[in-house]
Amino acid sequence: MTRIKRGYIARRRRTKIRLFASTFRGAHSRLTRTITQQKMRALVSAHRDRGKQKRNFRRLWITRINAVIRENREEGVSYSYSRLIHDLYKRQLLLNRKILAQLAISNRNCLYMISNEILK
Amino acid sequence: MAVAHTAPSAFLSIPPQKLSSFASPKTPFLGFPVAVAPKPFVQARALTLAKPTPNQIRCQGDAVIPKEQKWMFDESNINGPDIWNKTWYPKAADHVNTEKTWYVVDATDKILGRLASTIAIHIRGKNLATYTPSVDMGAFVIVVNAEKVAVSGKKRTQKLYRRHSGRPGGMKVETFDQLQQRIPERIIEHAVRGMLPKGRLGRALFTHLKVYKGPNHPHEAQKPIELPIRDKRVQVQK
């Protein structure tokens, strides 16, 4: 077999990885072996958290809706997020929690009007 | 739906005068650009992005985009940020400490745990529509008459407060009664701290709780308002 040096093959591969980790802190953007490991961990975290992102945002929307719905009920019976969703489903209203939460922040009157409507 | 027979329109009241005291976001958060002075609350509008009417455009001018360049401006903010696809996140102006609400509550004859729970909810900001877990959006709470807080059952002599100095044999145990004689503020602080999140933000939130022994507090300049307690069983039944 003729002698073959690897030349710049490894270096080219590692440069790409180094570019990915170029903004990492400390040794994680300077040392080659650490860079490889940190890129792997970063991609794993990103993959896993793309699924969690959907869960987290839904949690946030539910908490925000619950906060607004519970707040304005001193005079009547205490209304809650669970009852609101139940009434929404009964009236077959397709508003999702994201829209309801954004409504709660930007235009609270609208949310109240919607819940008054579905309460009837 | 047992409440369907009551007057439906009065159920969730839309009190316009109350809305200005809500913690609505300070930064303009609508589907179209607004004038420089934001109104305290927004009239109910159609949910679709309305074309900006002339008195609402600040400095955008008449953005006439040539037909062949329209694709470049597909995702721009010419008509305002997209509020239906980006969940609201508070900007710095939305959680300035100097503009937060201050609440005051008298702890006389209130059940310790129920009171602490309400306080923690208000400090964390979970009663607000603008609640964000990573940002301190809550209010400040002042507790007065901390030495008069009550507990039910035999907790007054049986509830133990423990602390450890770190050295072997350094466990110190105290009953509720003894701690109330010694440092009454610590009882409420201990209770509320256990109900706040543990972490950097939780520790910062804890500094928003101010507990005082007597009926006076030095925060008159902040004009604290009465803390609204929704728990019906927080007051000790005599």
A56: tokens are 């987290």
Asked if the Cβ–Cβ distance from A67 to B128 is below 8 Å, we say: yes
At B76, the pLDDT band (50, 70, 90 cuts) reads confident
Q: How far is CA A87 from the centre of its chain?
A: 27
B16: tokens are 């316009």
Residue-level pLDDT at B23: 45
Is the CB of residue B140 less than 8 Å from the CB of residue B222? yes
List, in sequence order, the alpha helices (H) in chain B: 16-19, 112-124, 155-158, 176-182, 184-195, 200-206
Residue-level pLDDT at B31: 53
Residue-level pLDDT at B206: 97
- Global pTM reads 0.79
What mean pLDDT, rounded, does chain A reach?
92
User: Which has the minimum average pLDDT: A92-101, B178-187, B206-215?
Assistant: A92-101
Query: Counting beta carbons within 10 angstroms of the beta carbon of residue B184, is it exposed (0 to 12), middle (13 to 18) or buried (19 or more)?
Result: buried
Query: Counting beta carbons within 10 angstroms of the beta carbon of residue B204, is it exposed (0 to 12), middle (13 to 18) or buried (19 or more)?
Result: exposed
Residue-level pLDDT at A118: 86
- Mean pLDDT over B100-127 rounds to 95
- Complex-level ipTM beyond the 0.90 threshold: no
Q: Which residue of chain B has the CA closest to A96?
A: B84
At A78, the pLDDT band (50, 70, 90 cuts) reads confident
Contacts of B24 in chain A (CB under 8 A): 105, 108
Tell me the pLDDT tens digit for each residue of B141-179.
999 999 999 999 999 999 999 999 999 999 999 999 999
Residue-level pLDDT at B35: 39
Nearest to A105 among B11, B29, B126 (CB): B29
Q: How far is CA B143 from the centre of its chain?
A: 16
- Mean pLDDT over B175-198 rounds to 96
Residue-level pLDDT at B41: 39
Please determine, for residue B77, whether its predicted confidence score (pLDDT) is greater than 90: no
At B49, the pLDDT band (50, 70, 90 cuts) reads very low
Chain A, residues 76-105, CB within 8 A of chain B, namely 76-79, 87, 90, 98-99, 101-105
CA of A111 vs chain B CAs: smallest distance (Å): 9
What mean pLDDT, rounded, does chain B reach?
80
Asked if the Cβ–Cβ distance from A120 to B8 is below 8 Å, we say: yes
- Mean pLDDT over A48-74 rounds to 92
Residue-level pLDDT at B189: 96
Task: Give me Rg for the CA atoms of chain A.
Answer: 26
Residue-level pLDDT at B136: 94
Delimit the domains of chain A by residue range.
Answer: 8-119
User: In sequence order, which residues have a C-beta less than 8 Å from that of residue B82 and are 6 or more positions away?
Assistant: B31
- Superfamily of structural domain A8-119: Ribosomal protein L20, C-terminal domain (1.10.1900.20)
CA of A26 vs chain B CAs: smallest distance (Å): 23
Is the CB of residue B40 less than 8 Å from the CB of residue A116? no
Residue-level pLDDT at B196: 97
Is the CB of residue B214 less than 8 Å from the CB of residue B142? no
Q: Which among B1, B3, B6, B11 is the top mutation candidate for probing chain A, defined by the most A β-carbons within 10 Å of its own β-carbon?
A: B11
Report the percent of chain B where pLDDT is more than 90. Answer: 61
> Which domains occur in chain B, in start order?
102-151+184-226 (3.90.1180.10)
Please give the Cα distance from B116 to B110 (Å, whole number): 10
Please determine, for residue B57, whether its predicted confidence score (pLDDT) is greater than 50: no
A72: tokens are 């304005």
Please determine, for residue B114, whether its predicted confidence score (pLDDT) is greater than 70: yes
The CA-atom distances, in angstroms, between B12 and each of A7, A103, A107, B83, B198 are 74, 15, 14, 24, 35
Higher-confidence residue of A19 and B29: namely A19
Q: How far is CA B52 from the centre of its chain?
A: 33
Please give the Cα distance from B103 to B41 (Å, whole number): 22
Q: How far is CA B67 from the centre of its chain?
A: 48
